[in-house]
Structure 1
Amino acid sequence: MRQFTAVVNPTAGGSAGAAALLRVGRLLREAGAGLETEYSRSLAHAQDLARRAGERGRVVLAVGGDGIAGGVGGALSGTGTLFGLVPAGRGNDFARALALPADPAGLAAVLLHNAPRRVDTIEVESAVHARTVVLGSVYAGVDALANRHANRSRLLRGAASYYAGGLRAVATWRAASYRVTVDGEEHLHRGYTVVAANSAYYGSGRMIAPGARVDDGLLDVVLIRAAPRRMFFTLMNELKSGGHVDRPEVRVLRGREIRVEADRAVPYGADGEVDAVLPVTARVLPGALDVLC
Structure 2
Amino acid sequence: MKSSHKNTFLTTPPRACSLIGKRVTQTAIKSIPKSIPGEWRSRKISRKRFFMHRHVIQHIHLITNPKGGVGDNLALAEQARKFFFSHGVSCEVHSTAAPGDATQWSAEIPQKPQTLICAMGGDGTMHEVINGMMQREATLRMPVALIPGGTGNSFMEDLGLIHPRSAMESILGGSPQPIDLMECGLDGAIEYAFNVCGWGMMASGNQRAESMRWMGRSRYHAAGLLEIMHCRSNHAQLEVDGKDLSAEYHLIAASNSRVVGKGMLMSPHAKHDDGLMDLLMLKKKGRRTLMRLFKGLANGTHIQDPSVEYQQIREFRVRTPQSNCWNIDGEVRRANEMSVSIRSGLLNWWLPEKR
TM-score, L = length of structure 2: 0.76
Residue number in structure 1 paired with 2:128: 71
Could you tell which deviates more after superposition, 235-244 or 161-170? 161-170
State the SS of the aligned residue for 1:43.
coil
Matches of 1:266 and 1:171 in 2, distance apart?
Answer: 20
* Change over 3 Å in CA distance of 1:288–1:99 after alignment to 2: farther
What code does the residue aligned with 1:29 have? F
Q: Which residue of 1 aligns with 2:206?
A: 147
Q: Deviations over 1:88-135 (max 9, x none)?
A: 11120011223326251x3222112311111011111111x7321121
CA positional deviation for 1:206: 1.1
Within the alignment, does 1:107 sit opposite 2:167 as a pair? yes
Alignment check: 8 A CA contact 1:147 1:165 kept: yes
Q: Is the 8 A contact 1:118 1:291 kept in 2?
A: yes
Q: Matched residue of 1:292: which SS?
A: strand
User: How large is the Cα RMSD of the aligned pairs?
Assistant: 1.9
Structure 1 residue ranges (4+ consecutive) displaced by more than 6 angstroms after TM superposition: none
- Measure the CA separation in 1 of the matches of 2:261 and 2:289: 19
Q: Where does residue 210 of structure 1 map in the other structure?
A: 268
Corresponding residue for residue 72 of structure 2: 16
**Equivalent-residue separation in structure 2 for 1:20 and 1:236 (angstroms):** 34
CA–CA separation in structure 2 for the residues paired with 1:251 and 1:156? 31
Match of 1:40 in 2: 96
Shift of 1:182: 1.8
| Displacement of 1:234 | 2.0
Q: Which has the bigger relative contact order, CA under 8 A and spacing at least 6? A: 1
Residue 285 of structure 2, aligned match among 222, 227, 234: 227
Aligned to 1:93: 154
What is the deviation of 1:149?
0.9
Matching residue of 1:236:
294
- Matched residue, 1:259: 317
Summarize deviations over 1:221-268 as a string: whole Å, max 9, x none: 110122211221221121111110000010112222211123554421
Cα deviation for residue 216 of structure 1 reads: 0.8
Q: Which residue of 2 aligns with 1:156?
A: 215
- The answer to whether the 8 A contact 2:70-2:151 is kept is no
Which of 123, 133, 144 is residue 192 of structure 2 equivalent to?
Answer: 133
Greater CA drift, 161-170 or 87-96:
161-170
Q: 1:180 to 1:16 in 2, by over 3 A?
A: farther
Gaps of 5+ in 1: none
- Kindly indicate whether the alpha-carbon contact (under 8 Å) linking 1:140 and 1:278 is maintained by their aligned counterparts in 2: no
Q: Distance in 1 between matches of 2:110 and 2:133?
A: 8
Larger Rg: 2
User: How far apart, CA to CA, are the structure 1 residues paired with 2:142 and 2:171?
Assistant: 14
Q: Determine if contact 2:196/2:255 at 8 Å carries over to the other structure.
A: yes
**Structure 2 contact 64–120 (Cα < 8 Å) conserved:** yes
Size of the alignment, in residue pairs?
290
Q: Which runs of 5+ in 2 are unaligned?
A: 1-56
- CA distance in structure 2 between the partners assigned to 1:162 and 1:234 by the alignment: 17
Distance 1:154 1:84 in 2: 24
TM-score (norm 1): 0.92
CA 1:54/1:73 → structure 2, altered by over 3 Å: closer, same or farther? farther
Counterpart CA distance in 2 for 1:67 and 1:199 is 15
CA distance in 2, matches of 1:24, 1:230: 46
In 2, the alpha carbon distance for the partners of 1:54 and 1:252 equals: 42
Q: CA contact under 8 A between 2:148 and 2:167: conserved in structure 1?
A: no
